Amino acid sequence: MLRCIVTLAAISITGRAGFSDEFWTQPVLRGAFVAVAFTLFVWTFVAAVWALKLQGGARYAGGGILAALGAGLALPALGIALVGAVDVVANWDDGLGLIPHSIIATLHPGAVEPLAWAAVAIGAVLAAAGSLVIRVKRSDPSGR
């Protein structure tokens, strides 16, 4: 939610066209926006671990975050791999108009899909590992 607020603040200051044309061409503004947006994205995971740790312990929190991170990587990557990166970016940007057309034009059909399939595989492994961490019972330290 905080990342959306940052994006909306940038758009409200520069306007939709300004965000795409002026904002993304200024390295300092672009860098600041990406740094703040990424920090807020990571904070989501920190807050989730914090909340889950209080509920079920550190192992439960780590497994839950690992599973969520894996699913969060695998599902969008699967959509990109199945539909095609060029179509996904073009259709997504048609409604928002945030990405300069020069960036969309640099995407070559078939160039990104192998990376998307690799992200699907990595995400599936992370999700499975996180699920196992949550489900597997810890052995009793006393040996019983």
In this structure, are 105 and 84 located in the same domain? Answer: yes
Do 141 and 101 lie in a common domain?
yes
Do 44 and 68 belong to one domain?
no
Task: Looking at the structure, tell me whether residues 21 and 84 fall in a common domain.
Answer: no
Radius of gyration of the chain (CA): 20
> pLDDT tens digits for 91-101?
766 655 656 66
Domain range for residue 129?
57-144
Report residue 37 as tokens: 């947006």
Between the CA atoms of 63, 69, 72 and 78, what dihedral angle is there, to the nearest 10 degrees?
-90
Q: Which amino acid is at 91?
A: N
pTM of the model: 0.61
pLDDT, position 126? 93
What pLDDT, on the 0 to 100 scale, is given for residue 122?
A: 95
Q: Could you tell me if 79 and 47 lie in one domain?
A: no
* Higher pLDDT among residues 48 and 17, named by residue: 48
pLDDT (0 to 100) of residue 24: 67
Given a cut of 70, is residue 69 above it in pLDDT? yes
Q: How many distinct helices (H) and strands (E) make up the chain? A: 6, 0
Indicate if 49 and 89 belong to the same structural domain: no
Number of structural domains the chain divides into: 2
Same domain, 44 and 62: no
Asked whether residue 142 falls in the same domain as residue 81, the answer is: yes
Percent helix, strand, coil in the chain (nearest 5)?
Answer: 85, 0, 15
